[in-house]
Structure 1
Amino acid sequence: MNRIRVLLLVAVLALVVAVPVLAQSGEPLKAAVDMGYVPFAFVNENGEEVGYAVDLANALAERMGRPSAEIVSVAWSGIFAALDAGRVDFIVAPTNIRPARAENMAFTEPYMDTAQLIALNIKYAGTVKTLEDLAGLTIGVNAGSVSDDWLVDNQAAYGYKIDRYDNLLDALLAVDTGRIDGVISDYEATAYAAKDRPNVIPGITITGSEQYGLPCQKNNTEFRNELERALEGIKLDGTLQAIHEKWFGVAPGDYSSSNLVYIGYGVPGMSGFQLIYHAPTMK
């Protein structure tokens, strides 16, 4: 198992305040996914719902004493509305942490680092190397995603066209068949989905400090905190690292947020953060 890097936790263990254990619910843990966003959530050849996010939801449900995780498929464009309406307990689909989002949702601490990747039709191999080379090309994107925001913010500078889709697989199919020129999404999902498509190649990586967190309803910090204690527990005992290696073929880096337990609840420096010392939920 990877060596676990614990951010600030060691320094405060002596100050940990015991957290009352919430009554174990007999209800399944309802987790929203964007089905078809491989390898996070998709239906395999046997008709089973599988993926990183599915395994993560199941691990969290077990750690929280729930009988199971109920995977609720919601198109990305409607996933925040589903959370607001109480259709789900939290979103386990990969959700980039952003200050504007934290104003409306209660995020857990980060659990994965990511970047953006533009994949291209193979006809552009060797010719599209920089963002400036995208001028005149049509780039597909999952509607309403962080990648969509990036395309809008940078369209004037680089001169591409935008074509929006309900899910990543539909956008990749359009690239594979030559209907559009490229697609942008989170690095892990794009690279995984593109590897089995002979006409799609990795193109341009856009690096940054992107991280995923688990969004909960803004007014339900008690649940968010329970979920975060479970998340920290599966970081510390190696469960999260094993899920990562299963789906991406490599273990997360020692200093990745997959290996870090953060002080307090939520995302430090963002709305919803609570500086409350607590103990992770271990088995």
Structure 2
Amino acid sequence: MKKLLMAASAMTLCATAALAQDVVRMGTEGAYPPYNYIDDNGQVAGYERELGDELCARAELTCEWVTNDWDSIIPNLLSGNYDTIMAGMNITKERAETIAFTENYTPPAASKYMALDEGVDLKGAIVAAQVNTLQSEYVAGAGETLAEYATLDDAVAAVRNGEADAVFADYDALKPFAEEGDLKWVGDDVQLGDGVGMGLRQSDTELKDKFNKAIESMKADGTLNDLITKYFGEDAQHY
């Protein structure tokens, strides 16, 4: 899932802690199903919407959802346009130098390749990936030719229209495309990141603690596993 481009030194940190506000603004992309997407009513939906609403309820917080393009999602958190990121973001050491993370709410999962041809040779292939992701970083260092796209949908479309030989992304995000029948799994699984967590400004320690307690309570009572099964299936990684 996603790679930080801009350094923290280029950003202005928000001076006011999120908990001093009446509403905690939950930032997401809205273009990464089943984690998050925009439904037919124009509302944020998906695993992270349902999970985020439950976390806010357990933490006794009033929350609202805000969408932002993936490429600038961390800079806009740091500049105060919203207070959290719930956008399928993997926890990494690099990102943790810039923002804080809660404990993960999705266990580490495999990344995978898909192509129209099961026999495609990935060595030297043109591989599509969403821009600024762990997957795009991996492809760039794997001896493949990287083609970056703004969204996962665009990356998959590039394979279907012949611009790329394969697409590389989170397994859970690619599963719906596999069900459509034309794209096939190819190559080996690749393990990236430390699971998906909520991103926050490093100064918002109280807010982080509240969300961590809510995540822990959902792990303890099994409701987080229930949500994982609902959105990712029985074969997904569980707690």
For the criterion TM > 0.5, the same-fold answer is: yes
Aligned pair partner of 1:82 in 76, 81, 91: 76
Aligned pair partner of 1:201 in 184, 203, 206: 184
CA contact (8 A) 1:191 1:202 kept: no
Aligned pair partner of 1:240 in 203, 224, 229: 224
Q: Tell me which amino acid in the other structure corresponds to 1:101.
A: R
Alignment of 1:124-143 (within 5 A): 124-125=117-118, 127-128=119-120, 133-143=121-131
Number of positions where the alignment pairs a residue of Structure 1 with one of Structure 2: 219
Alignment match, 2:16: none
CA contact (8 A) 2:92 2:193 kept: no
Aligned pair partner of 2:201 in 214, 217, 223: 217
Q: Tell me which amino acid in the other structure corresponds to 1:146.
A: L
Deviation, structure 1 residue 139: 0.9
Deviation, structure 1 residue 136: 3.3
The separation in 1 between residues aligned to 2:184 and 2:152, in whole angstroms, is: 15
Deviation, structure 1 residue 75: 1.6
Alignment of 1:162-173 (within 5 A): 162-173=146-157
Deviation, structure 1 residue 243: 1.2
Bigger drift between 100-109 and 208-217 goes to 208-217
Give secondary structure in 2 for the equivalent of 1:246. Answer: helix
CA contact (8 A) 1:83 1:216 kept: yes
Alignment match, 2:138: 150
Deviation, structure 1 residue 209: 6.0
Seq. identity, % = 26
The separation in 2 between residues aligned to 1:26 and 1:203, in whole angstroms, is: 48
- Give the alignment's TM-score, normalised by structure 2: 0.83
Larger C-alpha radius of gyration, 1 or 2?
1
Deviation, structure 1 residue 229: 0.9
Deviation, structure 1 residue 76: 1.4
The separation in 2 between residues aligned to 1:74 and 1:96, in whole angstroms, is: 17
Give secondary structure in 2 for the equivalent of 1:164. Answer: strand
CA contact (8 A) 1:29 1:89 kept: yes
- Give the alignment's TM-score, normalised by structure 1: 0.71
Give secondary structure in 1 for the equivalent of 2:95. Answer: helix
Deviation, structure 1 residue 246: 0.9
Q: Tell me which amino acid in the other structure corresponds to 2:151.
A: N
Alignment match, 1:60: 55
Against the structure 1 CA distance between its residues 163 and 252, is the aligned structure 2 distance closer, same or farther, given a 3 Å change threshold? Answer: closer
Residues 224-251 of structure 1 show CA distances to partners (whole Å, capped at 9, x for unaligned) of 1111111111211222112111111217
Against the structure 1 CA distance between its residues 65 and 115, is the aligned structure 2 distance closer, same or farther, given a 3 Å change threshold? Answer: same
Residues 81-139 of structure 1 show CA distances to partners (whole Å, capped at 9, x for unaligned) of 1111111211111111111211111111122221211111x2x22x13xxxx2133211
